[in-house]
């Protein structure tokens, strides 16, 4: 049983699911010409998020490399979330070489970044906020509306890596379906509409296609494309990946909301089985769920024990913690029997876990041994 894969919606795109192609790659860089499929995928992904235009790339690494080069030639001041995903920092030395000021703000703290912008951004400089959208480590989302409110009067940008939420979250969230519908990502989930927003998303998680898209206003994307170095010096996205993306969008349109409903059912089952046994679970509504053992040694022992029983899980160190937690990535294609077998195995070792007092189903907080931890039920 595998609880390590981030194919949250179970989209796998076997070869017999995809339409054929005459050649795997065009043989020319994207700057000299793109296939119709590349344009379609880019603009479709942008439209799902409520944005004007998009551009495909082989990976988020390509996009961040170009992004930092793009920003390094502008009068900007960059404000980056302290917990941003590591790939979101690759290429940041380009800013340093061009003496672009960089400031780090506290994780998802709009008040702190507001203070930093007021202190460090003159009238001649444009603020750029760089942040993840959803953080699986703490089970929370960036306050995008507040970020856009901060930078809009200064003609700035908010650059959001929305990889985690794209395909999972969408518009119209409610108590029985907290993800909403459509899978358009955090912008749709938070009802954010702003020309200051630029998103970078990998389709490798929710949609199972290892390629990426940058989306934003038509003006921004056009300028970004003209400045891009990787579109000149790298191979374009292959036809195989583009066809996988198109298949993912087709599946999402036909059955995406059903897959998300099953995913939510599986997460609820996992959480309730452990919490009813007195084992605290963190992760909120998201597929990435974690449990805490009493010590580092016990956490590693449980991970190894599950591995010997052919149950694959992930060791992860959350924010501000010294030892790892045991992490389970729940997917829509997990069967209830698999989740029950997993939780029954964990429940055999109750002494590994600290007890918690109760779960407040209104606030979603777990009160445990004098502390409060976010664990939306």
Check pLDDT > 70 for residue 372.
no
Q: pLDDT averaged over the chain? A: 92
Q: How far apart, in whole angstroms, are the C-alpha atoms of residue 236 and residue 245?
A: 14
Q: How far apart, in whole angstroms, are the C-alpha atoms of residue 377 and residue 375?
A: 6
Quick: pLDDT tens for 151-206. Answer: 999 999 999 999 999 999 999 998 888 999 999 999 999 999 999 999 999 999 99
176 or 236, greater pLDDT: 236
Check pLDDT > 60 for residue 323.
yes
Check pLDDT > 60 for residue 63.
yes
Structure tokens given for 76 = 């900007």
Check pLDDT > 50 for residue 362.
no
Tell me which DSSP letter residue 295 carries. Answer: S
Structure tokens given for 267 = 């997460």
Q: How far apart, in whole angstroms, are the C-alpha atoms of residue 218 and residue 196?
A: 11
Residue 118 makes CB contacts below 8 A (sequence gap 6+) with none
Percent of the chain surpassing pLDDT 90: 85
Per-residue confidence (pLDDT) for residue 138, from 0 to 100: 87
Q: How far apart, in whole angstroms, are the C-alpha atoms of residue 72 and residue 45?
A: 27
Closest alpha carbon to 184 in 201, 209, 167: 167
Check pLDDT > 50 for residue 144.
yes
Structure tokens given for 65 = 């490399």
Q: Could you tell me the CA-to-CA distances from 88 to 32, 197, 217, 318 in Å, in that order?
A: 27, 16, 20, 18
Closest alpha carbon to 237 in 35, 53, 11, 46: 35
Phi, psi dihedrals of residue 271, rounded to the nearest 5°: -65, -45
Per-residue confidence (pLDDT) for residue 357, from 0 to 100: 53
Mean per-residue pLDDT for 252-279? 97
* 360 band by pLDDT with thresholds 50, 70 and 90: very low
The CB-based long-range contact list for 316-320 (8 Å cut-off, 24+ gap) reads 316/137, 316/290, 318/137, 318/138, 318/290, 319/83, 319/107, 319/137, 319/138
Q: How far is CA 145 from the centre of its chain?
A: 17
Quick: pLDDT tens for 74-83. Answer: 999 999 999 9
Give the other-Cβ count within 10 Å of 174's Cβ.
9
Check pLDDT > 90 for residue 249.
yes
Residue 260 makes CB contacts below 8 A (sequence gap 6+) with 9, 168, 170, 177, 179, 181, 183, 332
Residue ranges of domains in the chain, CATH in brackets = 15-252 (3.40.640.10), 256-374 (3.90.1150.10)
Please state the pTM of the whole predicted model: 0.92
Residue 184 in contact with residue 192, Cβ under 8 Å? no
Check pLDDT > 70 for residue 364.
no
């Amino acid at each position: 049983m595998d609880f390590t894969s981030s194919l949250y919606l179970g989209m796998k795109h076997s070869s017999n699911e995809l339409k054929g192609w005459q050649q795997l790659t065009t043989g020319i860089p994207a700057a000299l010409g793109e296939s119709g499929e590349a344009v379609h995928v880019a603009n479709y992904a942008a439209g799902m998020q409520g944005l004007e235009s998009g551009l495909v790339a082989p990976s988020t690494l390509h996009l961040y490399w170009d992004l930092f080069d793009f920003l390094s030639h502008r009068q900007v001041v960059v404000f980056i979330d302290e917990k941003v995903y590591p790939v979101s920092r690759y290429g940041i030395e380009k800013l340093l070489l061009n003496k672009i000021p960089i400031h780090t703000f506290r994780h998802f703290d709009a008040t702190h970044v507001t203070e930093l912008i007021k202190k460090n951004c003159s009238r001649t400089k444009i603020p750029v906020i760089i942040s993840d959208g959803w953080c699986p480590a703490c089970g929370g989302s960036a306050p995008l509306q507040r970020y856009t409110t901060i930078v809009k009067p200064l003609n700035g940008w908010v650059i959001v890596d929305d990889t985690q939420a794209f395909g999972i979250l969408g518009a119209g969230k409610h108590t029985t379906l907290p993800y909403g519908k459509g899978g358009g990502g955090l912008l749709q989930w938070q009802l954010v509409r702003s020309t200051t927003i630029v998103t970078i998303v990998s389709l490798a998680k929710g949609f199972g296609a290892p390629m990426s898209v940058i989306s934003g206003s038509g003006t921004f994307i056009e300028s970004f494309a003209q400045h891009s170095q990787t579109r000149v010096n790298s191979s374009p996205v292959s036809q195989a990946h583009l066809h996988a993306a198109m298949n993912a969008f087709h599946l999402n349109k036909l059955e995406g909301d059903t897959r998300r409903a099953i995913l939510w059912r599986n997460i609820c089952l996992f959480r309730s089985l452990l919490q009813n046994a007195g084992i605290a679970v963190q992760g909120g509504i998201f597929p990435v769920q974690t449990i805490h053992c009493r010590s580092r040694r016990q956490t590693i022992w449980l991970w190894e024990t599950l591995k010997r029983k052919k149950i694959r899980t992930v060791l992860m160190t959350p924010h501000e913690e010294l030892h790892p937690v045991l992490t389970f990535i729940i997917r829509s294609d997990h069967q209830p029997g698999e989740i029950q077998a997993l939780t029954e195995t964990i429940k055999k070792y109750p002494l590994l876990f600290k007890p918690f007092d109760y779960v407040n189903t209104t606030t979603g907080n777990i009160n445990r041994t004098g502390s409060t931890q976010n664990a939306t039920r």
